[in-house]
Structure 1
Amino acid sequence: MAPKISTLRSIILLLLALMLSLVTNIQSKPSKQNAFEFINNVKGCHKGQNVSGLHHLKQYLENFGYLHNDDVVHRNHKHDNNVVANNHANNDVFDDALESAVKSYQRNFHLEVTGTLDSATVKQMTMPRCGIPDVINNNNTKKSTSSDKKVYKNRKLINFVSHYSFFQGNPRWQKSRLTYRFRSSASAAPGMENVRSACASAFQKWARVSHFTFEEVSSSSQADIEIGFHGGNHGDNYPFDGFGGTLAHAFAPSRGWLHFDADESWSVNPGRNQVDLESVAVHEIGHVLGLGHEPNIPNAIMYPTFSYGATKRDLHEDDVRGIRALYGLN
């Protein structure tokens, strides 16, 4: 009897050891880090400082249209242009150009214009967002910031301040019937039917307020718009950055590419750490049709940032006015 008890005790101890090892591995496994987390490491920085990691912030602000190497070159015209631009982009000095870019960012998002990386600015910068720049070619191309009175679909719009924006040059589609297909290089969390359903619903939001119709075609057919899930560098010169950071991006007419970052946790019914697929799809379709970002109205679909676990699927009046103004439908 004694040997059997000893064997049973050994088995139990072995199982306990395995369970403890499993729990330890799970607890020690690092959680996903937000791609914009590095901004928290330079929180509080201001002009005149040299802080490790500021060159990443410069890249961030350049990616989203707030910092331009040309500006740095012009301020240092006595030196070789390439040397000046490269030194600025790769160093960790909080110089005049970086302060100017931070102030531009703060103005664009209606934050206190301090030029320093204060708490409110860092909080805004670290939010997940669309990968399209807020400022294009030193110009956010706003088309209207004044009140007017117009009648639209039997509703009188009184004293509504428009802030919609377009891409540089106001590119637009020359036809109203647009086809779309799905072609991905990576898989995403939702089942394909859920993806199709969410995107179809997103297209209809724009169809109801414009002259466009949208039709899905097979992945092997020619299409005006191509929708896909991709990870990292996926061949369009705008690589994704993993979890957090940029969630998706799309191209102006008539390129028709709409890409989602496959490293995100996508859902059609998002939980706390998930991204609502339809909300982002409605936003990116706005880009595909020619609308730029709208940082003045947080409730607008074309606002650049998103929140995990939240849904924002309905067009704001500013979105509607923007698409109709771009295509002369007002």
Structure 2
Amino acid sequence: MAPNLSLLLGAFLLLFVAVQSKNHPKPPEKGFKFLQHLEGCHKGQTVKGLHELKRYLEKFGYLNYGTTNNHHHSKSTATISNLNHANDDVFDDILEYAVVGLQELRSVCSRAFQKWQDVSRFTFAEAPQGADRDIVIGFDRGNHGDGDQNAFDGRGQTSAHAFPPTRGWFHYDADEDWSSNPNTDQIDLESIAVHEIGHVLGLGHNEDLNAIMYAYLSYETIKRDLSANDIEGIRVLYSS
């Protein structure tokens, strides 16, 4: 069954609102308003405002109408077909693929936060629109406002970064190929989420190869569970 946008609202707000830092620039309120009337629409429909959703998703790395790497079109026709839909209000195949990915991301982030909640005094919850937020999760490219030294470098090298309390920013590099079931050229969304949330909570890197907080994760590798070393680290850090 083709996905509709009924669940997209919650996923979208999780990514850009629910855990947004107080010190991070807020998305415009207009962004939330245009989403409201999109609820329930599905592939094949033309609905006023979908072009704005496409712009948001493209900005944060979920859509790229200018390439052929969208898994839905043949290489010979993809670019022309994609560009025709980049700025229209048609719920097309590529938007469907992006929506599925964003629902997926909500589950990934929820599971990652739960792992730290289970072993610490912290609790995490989605904040309602307009409420104070402590953590922001997003996808960015290149120099994205975190300072020149924290600019992303495209595919390879740095795949994500996060900042310790009280800044609380967690950014994926949108130029990487992300997946919840990675192949040899992809990075696991959840493994990185668990690691970066550790940084958001104040943990540094760990020299234990089995630890979530070990500094490196290779393509295709799945490492989602906290080690005894990770658990000891978070408990010692907040022992007082």
**TM-based fold match above 0.5:** yes
1:201 matched to 2:201 = no
SS of residue in 2 equivalent to 1:260? strand
SS of residue in 2 equivalent to 1:292? coil
Q: Is the 8 A contact 1:282 1:301 kept in 2?
A: yes
**CA 1:269–1:299: 2 relative to 1, 3 Å:** same
SS of residue in 1 equivalent to 2:116? helix
Q: Is the 8 A contact 1:300 1:316 kept in 2?
A: yes
**Aligned-residue offset at 1:272:** 1.2
Q: Is the 8 A contact 1:181 1:216 kept in 2?
A: no
Deviations 1:107-136 (A, max 9, x none): xxxxxxxxxxxxxxxxxxxxxxxxxxxxxx
Q: Is the 8 A contact 2:61 2:175 kept in 1?
A: no
1:258 matched to 2:132 = no
Deviations 1:262-285 (A, max 9, x none): 000000111111000000000000
Which residue of 1 is the match for residue 120 of structure 2? 210
**CA 1:220–1:242: 2 relative to 1, 3 Å:** farther
Which residue of 2 is the match for residue 291 of structure 1? 203
**Aligned-residue offset at 1:219:** 6.6
- Between 1 and 2, higher relative CO (CA 8 Å, sep ≥ 6) is seen in 2
**Aligned-residue offset at 1:307:** 1.1
1:227 matched to 2:128 = no
1:269 matched to 2:181 = yes
1:322 matched to 2:161 = no
**CA 1:244–1:312: 2 relative to 1, 3 Å:** same
In structure 2, runs of 5+ residues without a counterpart are 1-17, 22-26, 28-55, 63-97
Which residue of 1 is the match for residue 48 of structure 2? none
Whole-Å separation in 1 of the counterparts to 2:170 and 2:136: 6
Which residue of 1 is the match for residue 61 of structure 2? 187
**CA 1:298–1:219: 2 relative to 1, 3 Å:** farther
Per the normalisation by structure 1, the TM-score is 0.43
Deviations 1:249-270 (A, max 9, x none): 0001011100000000000111
What is the RMSD computed on CA atoms of the aligned residues?
Answer: 2.0
Which residue of 2 is the match for residue 34 of structure 1? none
Deviations 1:207-237 (A, max 9, x none): 0000111012357543100000000010011
1:242 matched to 2:154 = yes
Whole-Å separation in 2 of the counterparts to 1:193 and 1:221: 22
Deviations 1:293-315 (A, max 9, x none): 012x1110000001111100000
**Aligned-residue offset at 1:196:** 0.9
1:280 matched to 2:182 = no
Partner letter of residue 260 of structure 1?
A: Y
Whole-Å separation in 1 of the counterparts to 2:155 and 2:204: 24
Whole-Å separation in 2 of the counterparts to 1:220 and 1:242: 33
Whole-Å separation in 2 of the counterparts to 1:226 and 1:217: 11
Which has a greater percent of strand? 1
SS of residue in 2 equivalent to 1:236? coil
**Aligned-residue offset at 1:181:** 4.2
Which residue of 1 is the match for residue 65 of structure 2? none
Structure 1 vs Structure 2: percent identity of aligned residues? 55
Deviations 1:64-123 (A, max 9, x none): xxxxxxxxxxxxxxxxxxxxxxxxxxxxxxxxxxxxxxxxxxxxxxxxxxxxxxxxxxxx
Partner letter of residue 223 of structure 1?
A: R
Matches within 5 A, 1:20-39: none
In structure 1, runs of 5+ residues without a counterpart are 1-178
Larger radius of gyration: 1
Which residue of 2 is the match for residue 310 of structure 1? 221
**Aligned-residue offset at 1:186:** 1.9
Which residue of 2 is the match for residue 112 of structure 1? none
Q: Is the 8 A contact 2:19 2:133 kept in 1?
A: yes
